[in-house]
Structure 1
């Protein structure tokens, strides 16, 4: 709890500082927003936030959608550079070629805000993301609590090699270490997608119908797993948890389809990304890493997030 308070205070201080230092200079700038895939609600939330904040400040936002394709994203960012953007907010479409757009922007003297994912070979000038290690650890501890520390656990992975997948894997494993009788019996990528989550979870259940827990490392995959559990008509109850706090995921928590998710503060992260982009353009000092708290969300506390996403 103390760490969460410190994270929140740090976030508020950073946002207030950046807001105070950049507001005077923001009007008239052009910021490129390169999004991994707008089919994902999480990225749409960020897009909405960046564009709304840009409108308030008189900043032109040019948004491009890579639709999950790294090669497409490289081409789109190169086009943004030729359009002489003042800064780039960049959400890599995957691990492959993730550093190329950052290097190209740097070569053109354009500062880069990496958001949600950071290219290991070419990190952004600042990196904004949820503290996924801490959040996934909290989620594992929740699963341990609601299952009595026993069960057969299946994990649906995101894109291998991306920072959210790596961090959520690390944190969840750390949390599970407290529950030696909660065994991981299956683990397979489902590429962040609901249809893949359904297919992979269905295959896992065919191989092991005694699975008692699914962790989808994104809400979309968790929803796919929940659907697979429903059609399998199992004799045992199955706990399904996700990560992101997508609108669909939050509604599923409220309905009891998912037991829990970790709600990311996507609207706040979008605003912070824009403030950071402007600050970098003006030569201001911006922290290299800006991690935000993700909030364990269950049926007990989900309603406010559905009404007003953080």
Structure 2
């Protein structure tokens, strides 16, 4: 019996070691996956660049994708991140409700998920949700709009995707201010789905239906710039236009005197900060921050437009 134990015990040790390593959690690859709605849109493109650059500075490999606001494609990209054994995902998501399952799936797979720009409608799935203070920013834009309109006149509102919480929050912030002025008359409110081309076509239709409009307030700069192009094509250089995002194109339109203002949301810094929190979580297992983090917005008009560059304000 002793002779058999002599051979059996080493074998049991080997089997136990194999079982331990098979069941132990796999170490994460040194990879950060960055997923945004688009890489062509200036806003989403710059947040992707910011996240990628910061991740590389911190020593990570990166993969960058776009989901095109398609929740099904986003789900496939999350599966790719899981298959590649990513350490973290930086995500500007494809819908407040439609993205919940995908985010939870990544977390269940042991991947830290950090949302930027757009939040989801649950808490506890993402490790952090870093978003602009859209309500605060919208009130700044509305106040500038009212001043430029002289507190009266017919106007239209262009809103973003109804599935995007940001669209609803910005609209609510606008109306918190605008609705206090009885001589400000909203004659139409229509979605242009964050799109410049849709902003153009929607504005063409609205101009025909409401030729007396004196102002356009839009939920983002791309819609505002589409509306501006339609106004210019119709020879309407008398209409006040206010956007939201802080793009270079909006800056240039302000400097030309064709847009009144935009609201800068700090996309570049949000993306950097998301990577920094991801790095902290990867190294220590926690971020020491609450899940939802708000960054205040800044009004950009003729006074500071020259400082605006790629969704950030330069000093001086």
The alignment's TM-score, normalised by the length of structure 2, stands at 0.85
1:246: Cα distance to partner?
1.3
Distance across 2 between alignment mates of 1:294 and 1:64: 26
Which of 141, 150, 153 is equivalent to 1:151?
A: 153
Listed as ranges, the gaps of 5+ residues in structure 2 are: 1-28
Distance across 2 between alignment mates of 1:82 and 1:97: 21
Partner of residue 83, structure 2: 82
Partner of residue 265, structure 2: 264
Question: Residues 131 and 307 of structure 1: is their aligned pair in 2 closer, same or farther, counting only changes over 3 Å?
Answer: closer
Which has more radius of gyration?
2
Partner of residue 13, structure 1: none
The Cα offsets for residues 27-84 of structure 1, whole Å up to 9 and x where unpaired, read as x731111111222211111111111111211111211111232211111111111111
Kindly report which structure 2 residues correspond to 1:223-262, keeping only aligned pairs within 5 A, or say none. Answer: 223-234=225-236, 237-262=238-263
Distance across 2 between alignment mates of 1:253 and 1:93: 30
1:95: Cα distance to partner?
4.3
Partner of residue 295, structure 2: 292
1:212: Cα distance to partner?
0.7
Report if aligned partners of 1:264, 1:294 keep a CA contact under 8 Å in 2.
Answer: yes
Report if aligned partners of 1:251, 1:306 keep a CA contact under 8 Å in 2.
Answer: no
Partner of residue 33, structure 2: 32
- The number of aligned residues is 282
Report if aligned partners of 2:268, 2:310 keep a CA contact under 8 Å in 1.
Answer: no
Partner of residue 128, structure 1: 130
1:307: Cα distance to partner?
8.1
Further displaced range: 273-282 or 144-153: 273-282
Q: What SS does structure 2 have at the residue aligned with 1:169?
A: helix
Q: What SS does structure 2 have at the residue aligned with 1:226?
A: helix
The alignment's TM-score, normalised by the length of structure 1, stands at 0.86
Report if aligned partners of 1:218, 1:243 keep a CA contact under 8 Å in 2.
Answer: yes
Distance across 2 between alignment mates of 1:33 and 1:308: 18
1:87: Cα distance to partner?
1.3
Question: Residues 227 and 308 of structure 1: is their aligned pair in 2 closer, same or farther, counting only changes over 3 Å?
Answer: closer
Kindly report which structure 2 residues correspond to 1:157-306, keeping only aligned pairs within 5 A, or say none. Answer: 157-234=159-236, 237-281=238-282, 282-284=284-286, 285-306=288-309
Question: Residues 133 and 273 of structure 1: is their aligned pair in 2 closer, same or farther, counting only changes over 3 Å?
Answer: same
Distance across 1 between alignment mates of 2:310 and 2:77: 34
Q: What SS does structure 2 have at the residue aligned with 1:230?
A: helix
Listed as ranges, the gaps of 5+ residues in structure 1 are: 1-27
Report if aligned partners of 1:36, 1:94 keep a CA contact under 8 Å in 2.
Answer: no
The Cα offsets for residues 167-207 of structure 1, whole Å up to 9 and x where unpaired, read as 10111111113312111110111011111000001111111
Distance across 2 between alignment mates of 1:307 and 1:299: 17
Aligned Cα root-mean-square deviation (Å): 1.7
